[in-house]
């Protein structure tokens, strides 16, 4: 019996130790238990000890483990009196647990507020970072635009500086004035040529090239003058036409004089002296053909110029023994045209049949209806036309 009683005591101790371990894991305090065993208990008392309050202990344990709200349940005090285990309620632990819970409740809103504040701080930093990135991008674009403006500004400065460098100084203008002949207009520019022609050309158009060769300085002075005084935009149409007619005739005379004595102009430059570019007008070189066919004819659309320009040949319209000038241009053109068409040495008309200069064949597009044109200046009806052989012998 004693052995069985001891086994029962051992089981009770073991159960109590387990309860202590459970309370310890939950962080709760279990008050000390006083046990006073007695070796002289009877079998009846031992059986009673087995049954007494064991169920209550288990119930207390289950209630503590399953209760969701420890504050609402009472914490029980276990004691052993003799072989009896007594469960008593201990409200002091309940009060402590309640205080802890209240403390948790007080701190929970603060923690939530701290979390909320931390989130707000994180969002603020994120926005600041985004704004910083955006600001950096904007700054980069702004710097690129500033760089473009700087480049354009430098380009403009370079252009302005280049233009400033090209602006002539007062000294440059003075030197230019000293080196270049003064610009002249109208008859003043053609005075030298007028004197030369009146001296060395007959009224019929025969040219004394030998005499001009001896007076060549006058010719050269005139050529230098017209070469540097091409008419500007302010010059009249007649002044421009007079200029180009006189230039053509003066350079043709120079071509002959430079190669005199000569029998024909066609003896020069392989028979094509009109194609050679040697006439210098303000730095640009022209040929006789360019002056006639690319400047005079298309610019002025005047067919009578064919009786004003002279090619130094006998069959050419006679060279006028004076310089052409704007004030008498219309009258001189009309007289030269009529004199050429009615001169039997160049054109002849009998009974409606006209033998005329090759000029009307070469430049027929300028004259339009050649028969009507001849009839207008000859005063005779023209039914048929034929062209004479052209005499390229020198017109001296």
Q: What is the Cα gyration radius of the chain?
A: 67
Mean pLDDT over all residues of the chain? 76
Q: Domain residues for 239?
A: 190-387
Does residue 152 belong to any structural domain of this protein?
Answer: no
Give a yes or no: residue 183 inside a domain: no
Mark whether 64 and 194 lie in a shared domain: no
pLDDT digits (tens, 9 = 90+) for 341-363: 999 999 999 999 999 999 999 99
Which of the four pLDDT bands, split at 50, 70 and 90, describes residue 208?
Answer: very high
Residue with tokens 């387990």: 18
**Model-level pTM?**
0.56
Sign of CA dihedral 305, 310, 311, 317: positive
- Report yes or no on 232 lying in a domain: yes
Q: Does the residue 103 lie in any domain?
A: no
Higher-scoring residue by pLDDT: 109, 258: 258
> 366 and 244, same structural domain?
yes
Whether the per-residue pLDDT at 198 is higher than 50: the answer is: yes
For residues 86 and 206, state if they share a domain: no
Residue 135 lies in a domain: no
Residues 213-259: pLDDT tens digits?
A: 999 999 999 999 999 999 999 999 999 999 999 999 999 999 999 99
Q: Of 57, 79, 96, which marks where a domain is finished?
A: 96
Tell me if 306 sits within 8 A of 370, measured CB to CB.
Answer: no
Average pLDDT over residues 373-392: 97
Q: How confident is the model at residue 85 (pLDDT cuts 50, 70, 90)?
A: very low
Secondary structure of 134-197 in HEC code, one letter for each residue: HHHHHHHHHHHHHHHHHHHHHHHHHHHHHHHHHCCCHHHHHHHHHHCCCCCCHHHCCHHHHHHH
Q: What is the per-residue pLDDT across 33-55, written as a single tens digit (0 to 9) for each? A: 444 444 444 444 444 444 444 45
pLDDT at 40: 45
Q: How far apart are CA 322 and CA 91, in angstroms?
A: 149
Share of the chain above pLDDT 90, in %: 52
Query: Is 392 within a domain?
Result: no
Q: How confident is the model at residue 188 (pLDDT cuts 50, 70, 90)?
A: confident
173 in any annotated domain: no
Shared domain for 72 and 195, answered yes or no, is no
Q: Read off φ and ψ for residue 69, nearest 5 degrees.
A: -125, 90
What are the helix (H) ranges across 259-306?
288-290, 297-300
State residue 15's pLDDT score.
75
In 3D, which of 37, 53, 52 has the Cα closest to residue 5? Answer: 37
Residue among 224, 215, 181 nearest 196 (CA): 215
Q: pLDDT, tens digit, for every residue of 263-280? A: 999 999 999 999 999 999
CA–CA gap between residue 76 and residue 23 (Å, rounded): 11
In this structure, of 29-38, 211-220, 332-341, the range with the lowest mean pLDDT score is 29-38
Distance CA 105, CA 2 (A): 54
- Identify the band that residue 29 occupies on the pLDDT scale cut at 50, 70 and 90: very low
Task: Pick the range with the lowest mean pLDDT from 34-38, 138-142, 286-290, 333-337.
Answer: 34-38
Residue 80 lies in a domain: yes
Output the pLDDT for position 279: 97
Q: Which of 73, 96, 119 is the last residue of a domain?
A: 96
What confidence score (pLDDT) does residue 14 get? 74
- Residue 201 and residue 344 in one domain: yes
**pLDDT (average), residues 304-331:** 97
Judgement on whether residues 80 and 215 belong to the same structural domain of the protein: no
For the ranges 31-40, 78-87, 130-139, 165-174, the lowest mean pLDDT is seen at: 31-40
Of 64, 96, 128, which residue constitutes the final position of a domain? 96
Mean pLDDT computed over 3-19: 65
Same domain flag for 68 and 203: no
Of the pLDDT bands very low, low, confident and very high (cuts 50, 70, 90), residue 25 is low
Number of domains within the chain: 2
């Amino acid at each position: 019996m004693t052995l069985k009683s001891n086994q029962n005591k051992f089981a009770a101790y073991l159960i109590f130790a387990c309860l202590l371990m459970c309370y310890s894991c939950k962080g709760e305090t279990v008050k000390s238990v006083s046990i006073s065993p007695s070796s002289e208990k009877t079998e009846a008392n031992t059986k009673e000890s087995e049954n007494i309050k064991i169920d209550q202990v288990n119930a207390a344990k289950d209630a503590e483990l399953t209760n969701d709200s420890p504050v609402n349940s009472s914490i029980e005090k276990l004691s052993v009196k003799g072989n009896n285990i007594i469960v008593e309620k201990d409200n002091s632990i309940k009060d402590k647990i309640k205080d802890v819970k209240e403390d948790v409740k007080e701190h929970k809103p603060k923690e939530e507020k701290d979390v909320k504040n931390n989130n707000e701080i994180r969002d603020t930093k994120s926005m600041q970072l985004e704004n910083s990135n955006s600001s950096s991008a904007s700054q980069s674009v702004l710097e690129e635009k500033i760089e473009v403006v700087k480049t354009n500004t430098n380009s403009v400065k370079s252009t302005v500086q280049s233009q400033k460098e090209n602006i002539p100084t007062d000294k440059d203008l003075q030197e230019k004035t000293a080196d270049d002949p003064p610009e002249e207009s109208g008859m003043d520019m053609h005075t030298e040529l007028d004197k030369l022609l009146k001296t060395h050309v007959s009224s019929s158009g025969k040219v004394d090239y030998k005499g001009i060769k001896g007076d060549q300085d006058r010719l050269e002075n005139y050529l230098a003058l017209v070469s540097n005084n091409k008419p500007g935009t302010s010059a009249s149409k007649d002044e421009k036409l007079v200029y180009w007619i006189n230039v053509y005739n003066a350079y043709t005379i120079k071509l002959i004089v430079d190669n005199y004595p000569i029998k024909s102009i066609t003896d020069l430059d392989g028979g094509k002296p009109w194609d050679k570019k040697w006439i210098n007008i303000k730095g640009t070189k022209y040929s006789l053909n360019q002056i006639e066919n690319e400047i005079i004819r298309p610019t002025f659309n005047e067919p009578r110029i064919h009786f004003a320009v002279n090619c130094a040949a006998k069959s050419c319209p006679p060279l006028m023994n004076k310089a052409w000038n704007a004030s008498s241009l219309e009258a001189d053109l009309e007289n030269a045209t009529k004199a050429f068409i009615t001169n039997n040495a160049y054109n002849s008309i009998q009974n409606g049949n006209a033998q005329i200069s090759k000029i009307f064949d070469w430049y027929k597009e300028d004259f339009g209806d050649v028969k009507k044109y001849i009839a207008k200046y000859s005063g005779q009806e023209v039914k048929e036309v034929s062209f004479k052989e052209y005499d390229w012998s020198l017109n001296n």
